[in-house]
Structure 1
């Protein structure tokens, strides 16, 4: 399995409010999704980051783009595969499963 990109990540931050303002300041779209914020770039339908709140900053997960899509060799190598993608709903200003 060859990694082609890192299109998505999860970031844990001490304050969702500060995280929201930080990413909005860069001109990114920020939408509430449950107890988190989904962040995406203009012109993209899928989110690039998911912010959640906890007492310390840390990287929670990274989504990899791989050759050949989802296949068994990745699972045998200890890779957890999550086939679900979230799409941006511009009329609602939020991400939908």
Structure 2
């Protein structure tokens, strides 16, 4: 596995910090929330960033769906505070039943 450059490590630290914060908030505010995970391609950051909120079942996912826009705004605001601007916040956070191993 290739080691990350210093810029890539900074990108990763930024996203991990934001993801951890949002995950903690998700656990407190969303019923059936399991975890937050992300994936990105460093050479296309921030456009390639996709944060996923995983829910335990379809009912929890359906109940949380109306709040999706609010969470997308939270992600965008948290990244702006870190100096990262998302062009279209709707593309970077989704609610799902799939886990990172799926």
TM-score of the superposed pair, with normalisation by structure 1: 0.33
Instruction: Choose between structure 1 and 2: higher helix proportion.
Output: 2
Pick the structure with greater CA Rg: 1
TM-score of the superposed pair, with normalisation by structure 2: 0.32
